[in-house]
Structures are given as C-alpha cells and as structure tokens.
Amino acid sequence: MKKLLLINGPNLNLLGTREPATYGHETLADISALCGRAAEEFGLTVEFRQTNHEGELLDWIHTARGRCAGIVINPAAWTHTSVAIRDALVASELPVIEVHLSNVHRREAFRHHSYVSGIAVGVICGLGSNGYRLGLEHFAHLLGAHHG
C-alpha cells in the first residue's frame, strides 16, 4: 500500500460551521471520510490531519520523509505566508500536490500568491472537496497504485 500524508492548515477545522458561501457545507470530518473512500478506491492509504500550529505541520512534513510516498496539502492561510512550509516540503524530497477548496484566483489579491505552488507537482483550486479526491487520484497514477 502506498501511503500519503494529507495535511490541512489553520482554521480548516471550522469547515461546515461558518462561511458556507466560500467553503461549502461539508465539515473536515466529511472530507476526511471522502478521502478515506477515495484512497481505498485508488489503492492508497491516507493519513488525514489538520492543525492550527505551524510547527506541528512542519514536524509532520519532516517525519513523512521515508515513511510516505507523497504529500497532499491544503496549507490554508500559510499558503500565502510561509517560507518555512515551502522549505520543509522541499526537504522532504516527496512529491507534493497543493489543494484549495476555493478558487483563490477569484478572491483577494493576497491569496493569488502561493509559496507552495512553485515546488508542487500541481495545484488544484476551486473544486471544493473534489479537489482532494482529484489529488489522490493523481497520486495513484503517479505512484502506479492499483485501483480496487
């Protein structure tokens, strides 16, 4: 089984409780369940996590090296601020797919720049929770995992 680390940044624990016009009605638990089903379908295993603490996210990226085959990340607001997350992702030497629920390019100018996109295999944004599923599907292709 190919294992992926799927990590979510700050405030995403609030999903489904506020700002549904921007982020939809699904909770993070709903998205975790969706990713679990998609992983099974694509012959992958997924560790799905969320944190509001940047250092914790960095530690998870560091320990993914040698243990996981790739990283799917929604860095949330840290997308636009964190050189540290970019550096940790590079140091992991793992392929990275960046996911955003909303289309950041239709939103405020400060969301148009990402520190992660330049080192990612690809970026999916604006497709809601389906973006996570598509990210996992792409990893299944990249890693040659077998659909079940």
Of 74, 89, 66, residue with least CA distance to 32: 74
- Angle at CA 108, nearest 5°, toward 126 and 124? 20
Q: Which of 15, 44, 88, 116 binds ligand CA2 (CB under 6 A)?
A: 15
Of the pair 19, 40, the CB lying nearest ligand CA2 is at 19
Does 14 bind ligand CA2 (CB under 6 A)? Our answer is yes
Catalytic, 23? Answer yes
Catalytic, 132? Answer no
The pair of three-digit structure tokens given for residue 109, joined into one six-digit string: 């100018």
The pair of three-digit structure tokens given for residue 117, joined into one six-digit string: 């996109």
Catalytic residue among 62, 100, 141, 147: 100
Residue 83, judged by CB atoms within 10 A of its CB (0-12, 13-18, 19+), counts as exposed
Does 12 bind ligand CA2 (CB under 6 A)? Our answer is yes
3-state helix, strand, coil in the chain (%, to 5): 50, 20, 35
Beta carbon of residue 92, minimum distance to ligand CA2 (angstroms, whole number): 20
Does 133 bind ligand CA2 (CB under 6 A)? Our answer is no
Contact by Cβ (8 Å): 97, 138:
yes
Q: Which of residues 53-82 bind ligand CA2 (CB under 6 A)?
A: 74, 76-77, 79
Binding site for ligand CA2 (CB under 6 A): 11-12, 14-15, 18-19, 23, 74, 76-77, 79, 100-102, 104, 111
